[in-house]
Amino acid sequence: MTRPWPKAVLFDLDDTLWPIAPVIIEAEKILYAWLAEHAPRVVRQYTIDTLRQARLELLARRPEFELDLGALRRAGLIAAFEQAGEDVGKVELAMVEFFAARNAVIPYDDVLPGLLRLKSRVRIGSITNGNADLETIGLSRHFHGSVSAPRLGVAKPDPAIFLAGCEALDVAPGEAVYVGDNLLLDVQGAQRAGLRAVWMNRIGQVNELAHEVRPDGEVSSLDELLSWLQQEHG
């Protein structure tokens, strides 16, 4: 017996709809080139790697930055500028440069066609712990609502962020399916909030947490997600 289609499908963003690691690497290179031109004292004292290490040390001291890695990067730059005797007023310009590059993501080939097919059947939303900007990326028109940890002040896997995502789409948790690449943050977090959860496993990982986390479905693309929804709901 098939069940009714969900009213909403909500997505994680980074590494679910596009790869993020190469984007962050490139964004840090672009930022560092900007610093070399506009804040040379910082570049004389820091490399990309030592700036990263300083951020990690700052995060260890102030774990609240887990909720907003953009704020962590800003605080790290402020500290580096102060240490180097550089004009701290330039930090916001540096952050504009970084965020522009950070949002220069390239969605997987299946994403746009999949979103177009999905939104004819369900409301589409996103829940992210990151700083992706769907408006800048050019996908916001496909989403009925979006929630992010930096804005909400709560991060996955806390049930509160999943409930906020459902509220943004005006659906109950039991009427929604969440799709994400992280078994603990996405799958287990969504299930504990009362949503069904599909593991987006694009690279064929083995579920090494199978004793603890059992996704309601496992797919490697939005095409497979649509097939799973069709199979589950007719």
Cα 169 to Cα 7, 144, 197: the distances in Å are 9, 7, 17
What span, in angstroms and rounded, lies between the C-alpha atoms of 181 and 198? 9
User: Running DSSP on this structure, what letter comes out for residue 67?
Assistant: G
Query: Per-residue pLDDT tens for 197-234?
Result: 999 999 999 998 889 999 999 999 999 999 999 998 86
What span, in angstroms and rounded, lies between the C-alpha atoms of 14 and 134? 11
Which domains does the chain carry? 8-19+105-233 (3.40.50.1000), 21-102 (1.20.120.1600)
Neighbours of 196 (CB within 10 A): 21
Q: What is the pLDDT of residue 210?
A: 86
Q: How confident is the model at residue 3 (pLDDT cuts 50, 70, 90)?
A: confident
Nearest CA to 185 out of 148, 153, 158 is that of: 158
Peptide bond into 157 cis (omega under 30): yes
Q: What is the pLDDT of residue 4?
A: 87
What average pLDDT does range 1-25 have in this prediction? 93
Q: Which residue has the tokens 């969605």?
A: 107
Q: What is the pLDDT of residue 102?
A: 97
Q: How confident is the model at residue 1 (pLDDT cuts 50, 70, 90)?
A: low
What average pLDDT does range 68-76 have in this prediction? 96
What average pLDDT does range 98-107 have in this prediction? 97
